[in-house]
Amino acid sequence: MTAEQVSTDVARALTEDMGSGDLTAQLLPTTQTARAHVITRENAVIAGRPWFDACFRALDPACQITWHVNEGDEVLANTLLVEIAGQTRSLLSAERPALNFLQTLSSIASVTRAYVDAIRGTHAAILDTRKTLPGLRVAEKYAVRTGGGHNQRMGLFDGILIKENHIVAAGGIAQALDAAYRLAEGRVSVQIEVENLDELEQALAAGAPLILLDNFSLPQMQRAVQITHGRALLEASGNITLDNIRDVADTGVERISIGALTKHIHAVDLSMRLECESSQEN
């Protein structure tokens, strides 16, 4: 995540919301200033401060933002998160985009933390997927990291994941992996998805360094760990929830990827309240 990426995301969000201008905000005096504060109405892990701040500063560079919690903090319902002071028009115009970023990214961080806590003490890591909202992948993957999870490839350009259809089109597991090794040249990771133990054996025979176990049952995962015996890293994926993830981690797989971290988003309930300080007309 870079300042440039945050600025790009925020500019797009503000343009989407304001277009040629915030008509409702134009009802207010241009010189009026105000203070606002944001609270969370539910327990959460906070993520998204850079995007939140950038929304307000894009419209009022001189605004003052005072945070009372840190990025990644676990907070309880009704916690005061942040106070903002600045031009009233700017505060109100930036409110919705800023809260959208904060509530969405905090949701992802909160869910990720729950999965991380569920497997704490095991040797497995929680990873995300490419199942993100279009245009917000960098932000959402940042939120996963804030929640204690790990990122996989950012997109199709920085890693190779050979799935069922790739295998069919390439003519088999060995052929697909051979082509992948030649293309990767050690610059990016190579991973292959297998759907049963026979395909696992084929992938191991072809030297696969990273193997995705797609929708394996717990007994199949345990057997896969025994067969692999450290020759490759194993990643479990498919139908994994908070109810069964501890059992998955206890099979001995090193990685567990969860699409729900970014796909099943239930935004954290946040509230911003305003207090006007001055109201002079032009």
Instruction: Kindly list the catalytic residues.
Output: 96, 131, 163, 193, 214
Closest Cα to residue 47, out of 70, 80, 14?
Answer: 70
Q: Residue 168: which residues within 8 A CB-CB, separation 6 or more?
A: none
Q: What is the DSSP string of 150-168?
A: B---SSTTS-EEE-HHHHH
The identity of residue 62, as a single letter, is A
| Structural tokens at position 66 | 């005072």
Distance CA 128, CA 263 (A): 10
Instruction: Tell me the C-alpha to C-alpha distance, in Å, between residue 84 and each of 30, 38, 110, 244.
Output: 17, 9, 24, 42
User: Per this entry, what is the length of the chain?
Assistant: 282
| Structural tokens at position 81 | 């998160």
